[in-house]
A and B are shown apart, each in its own frame.
Chain A
């Protein structure tokens, strides 16, 4: 079975703090993709990153960084020096068969000034 677990339902931080959002996945596929999306109150899912299962290099994009560890089936997302505009619900997702994405339950991040 394929599954994505985001154990943190809500996280609250003060601006400029670093925050890490956890994601653990399950799959029997040898080739798969992992994603992170941001969902602001408007509802639109905004793509942040896609990582394939053969590429375990960590990635950094501005204040965002991702740590993919195949050995622990985790794909964690860190925001450095958080800002109020980072407040949103963040979803981790796994590519499944038949063209679908399997999403976790999401982590609601609240960044307070």
Chain B
């Protein structure tokens, strides 16, 4: 069975551009979460979607947005990229809404470099 898949795996953008990252959860999983991991730090929570609705949001500016589609896949969009947005973006899926009730499965991430 396929795990959580993310695309693209690597990408390079310049300041001011926008980026779209994609995530396909494990089949049957209805929840998708996004995390940002800056080099040398732990992942930071950005968003959680469950049943196509936003259920949680971390301390990130409005330049960050996301959505979940009817097939439970998800996109993370970042506008007006800054150098500080360079990071590994991780997607996680789970059967239920939160880690209190289920295990989170992570993808390998999309590594974004902003020049």
**Contact surface of A with B, Cβ cutoff 8 Å:** 4, 31-33, 35, 37, 42-47, 50, 91, 93, 95-106
6 A-B pairs with CB atoms under 8 Å apart are A44-B108, A99-B33, A99-B56, A99-B97, A101-B43, A105-B41
Residue of A nearest to B42 (CB): A103
| Contact between chains at A100 and B42 (CB < 8 Å) | no
| Contact between chains at B31 and A105 (CB < 8 Å) | no
A45 to B106, CA, bound (A): 6
| Contact between chains at A42 and B108 (CB < 8 Å) | yes
| Contact between chains at A105 and B99 (CB < 8 Å) | no
**Contact surface of B with A, Cβ cutoff 8 Å:** 31, 33, 35, 40-45, 48, 50, 55-58, 88, 90, 92, 97-100, 103-109, 111
| Contact between chains at A44 and B106 (CB < 8 Å) | yes
| Contact between chains at B90 and A45 (CB < 8 Å) | yes
| Contact between chains at B108 and A100 (CB < 8 Å) | no
- Taking the closest CB of chain A, its distance from the CB of B3, in whole angstroms, is 8
Given A98-B55, A101-B45, the answer on whether A43 and B100 have CB atoms closer than 8 Å is: no
> Which residues from chain A contact B105 at a C-beta distance below 8 Å?
47
A86 to B103, CA, bound (A): 22
Known: A98-B56, A106-B42. 5 other contacts (CB 8 A): A45-B43, A91-B42, A98-B57, A100-B58, A101-B104
Residue of A nearest to B88 (CB): A43
A4 to B42, CA, bound (A): 10
> Which residues from chain A contact B97 at a C-beta distance below 8 Å?
99
